[in-house]
Amino acid sequence: MTQNLTYRGPKIALFEPDIPQNTAAIIRTCACLGTKLEIIEPCGFLLSDKRFKRVVMDYMNKSQIKFYKSTDHFFSLKKNQRIILMTTKASISYTKFKFKDNDTILFGRESAGVPEKIHKVVNYRLKIPMKNKMRSLNIASSVAITLAESLRQINII
């Protein structure tokens, strides 16, 4: 996909996604809201997977997606940029955080989150508060919730 040099807004990053339907739903959300998506490989599925294609439909062609071959590649290109990790292990709510234009909002793998070494190198760790000590939201829902708030704060939506 092509690089838009006038892009304004946060970017969503997925760490080694492993559920094709979730990634496809996130691609659709990012396409519809005009947000760049970054995927840190390896993915746990092929982009030709029929489950992925069923959900992504034609939104893949309407998306701005950048792939990184590894975590090291991702972080080497993100020097001097804010990376916000969304995690159930955080103590700060996303609603109490001030998002900025060029933030990268990172989401972990559905099955395992991110390794501890990533927790140590990100700038901020945030959570979506949940009732009754529930374990977690679906990643596609989490992306939509967090992305909408960041876009609202930056006055893009």
Q: What does the alpha-carbon distance between residue 154 and residue 56 come to, in Å, rounded to a whole number?
A: 27
Q: What does the alpha-carbon distance between residue 109 and residue 44 come to, in Å, rounded to a whole number?
A: 9
Domains and CATH numbers, the chain: 11-153 (3.40.1280.10)
* pTM to 2 decimal places: 0.91
> Tell me: the pLDDT tens digits for 59-70?
888 889 999 999
Q: What does the alpha-carbon distance between residue 39 and residue 28 come to, in Å, rounded to a whole number?
A: 14
> Tell me: the pLDDT tens digits for 123-153?
999 999 999 878 889 999 999 999 999 999 9
